[in-house]
Amino acid sequence: MNNVLLIDFGSTYTKVTAVDTEEGRLLGTADSYTTIETDVGDGLENALKKLHEKTGPLEYSARYACSSAAGGLRMITSGLVPELTAEAAYQASLGAGAKVLKVYSFQLTEDDLEEILQINPDIFLLVGGTDGGNTECILHNARMLAGVEFDFPVIVAGNRTAARECERILAGHEVHLCENVMPKFGVLNIEPARKKIREIFLNRIVQAKGLSKAAELLSGILMPTPSAVMKAMHLLSGGCEGESGIGDLIAVDVGGATTDIYSMADGMPKDASTVYKGLPEPYDKRTVEGDIGMRYSVRGIVEAAGLARICQLSGLDQDAVNALLDRLCSSPDLIPEKGSDLEKLDYALASMAIETAVARHAGSMEETYTLMGLTYVQSGKDLRHVKQVIVTGGSLIRTDRTGEIAAHAFASPAAPMSLRPIRADIRVDRKYIIAAMGLLSEYYPQIALRIMKKELVYDGYSE
């Protein structure tokens, strides 16, 4: 046997997955508290102990890992126009698996610099201007950064005319030059920046996150966890040599603090009566809703959906809901018992987390009248044709109502201009293997794809 161990160092749990690559099968999964405040190696050791209790002793030819521990990969981006280069930088950062803490547009101010230094990101992505276009903004921002003390690396991925000058301005700091994220007006080129972000994560961030000791046990920490999920979903959608994918899809990861949405779809207008407005979005898009989470961001769900909607879905009155919300805020580790009021509330919260996050991720349509008559204007991705929705997260895995919750990702008569899926099959990642399969796909894409197609369980619910 040729066994591979796949590890996901999360902020709360370390998850391990064992795969036999000769037979192409999943051997087992387990998890344990990460214990990043002491030694992440302890969490790994405990998770392995649980795994081997299920599988028996295993030897591994390789160990690969991803990580979102200690806040994951934290980034700040700075661009020129909010809807253009700043948005391109934002998409590049999210696609690389980062948590984008702030996006600045136009020229940085002294107040902005104070905020940047206070946040102290892991990476700063400096962009601005198309190639041959505006250089004033990116050069100004480079000078502003050079005027303060900081120790985070800077990626320069803006107007190529100004790139070397930015590097000279920032001399003495760690600077990486990269291709422009938007070399021409309205044209995205975010993959080179994504690769550079992942490279820095490998070479520098591992030590900053307290993972260097655990790294001695590994064949490699390959990428941030969201980046591993992105790779897995790209593979599941498009397939690889010798194995077909399942087509366009949306993936939803409802966590305790955030809800991440991934879409693998072109999303551009398919009707001649529809025109597109704004910057075209990447085929493989990720968004992170930092105010939408089942525990640490539970108030954000209620604020977005409205207390009345939460009460309606849960069947609980306002006093009961507010009392339970207070409990969740003070004890975010609470897990609902079957049939309890907390389980009813969790159903409502998870449903609204998905509805809100997918609605924000998907595009929208508006009607306008021109000389040619009625015309539709599309902003963002049209996901109405997507036929597969993949869901993961404790609130969807620990319930019998997964399909009902996931169905809130679908289009609704209440929001007719939202371009969410009309009808789709739902698959559930009940064993938490998606990130592990993204890691495995670096070396064994066909095996990773086959395991996902087998293990992502069809829920049997379709609208």
∠ CA 244-406-97, rounded to 5°: 65
What is the set of domains in the chain, with CATH numbers?
3-69+213-218 (3.30.420.40), 73-203 (3.40.50.2300), 237-462 (no CATH)
pLDDT digits (tens), the chain, 463 positions? 699 999 988 766 788 999 999 999 999 999 887 654 555 667 788 889 999 999 999 999 999 988 776 666 889 999 998 878 888 888 888 877 788 889 999 999 999 999 999 999 999 999 999 999 999 999 999 999 999 999 999 999 999 999 999 999 999 999 999 999 999 988 889 999 988 988 887 776 566 555 655 555 666 666 888 889 999 999 999 999 999 999 999 999 998 888 999 999 999 998 888 899 888 889 999 998 888 889 888 999 999 999 999 999 999 999 999 999 999 988 887 889 999 999 999 999 999 999 999 999 999 999 888 777 788 999 999 999 999 999 998 889 889 899 999 999 999 999 999 999 999 999 999 999 999 999 999 999 999 999 999 999 887 555 4
Provide the phi-psi class of 125: left if phi over 0, else alpha when psi is between -120 and 50, else beta: beta
Query: What are the helix and strand counts (H, E) for the chain?
Result: 17, 19
DSSP 204: I
Which residues are CB-neighbours of 63 under 8 A, at least 6 positions away? 4, 5, 6, 7, 217, 218, 219
Determine phi and psi for 26, rounding to 5 degrees. Answer: -80, 125
Cβ atoms 397, 429 nearer than 8 A: yes
* Two tokens, residue 143: 């000078």
Q: pTM of this prediction?
A: 0.86
Nearest-CA neighbor of 1 among 62, 54, 59?
59
CA dihedral in degrees (108, 114, 115, 119; nearest 10)? 120
φ, ψ (nearest 5 deg) of residue 267: 75, 5
Distance CA 389, CA 399 (A): 17
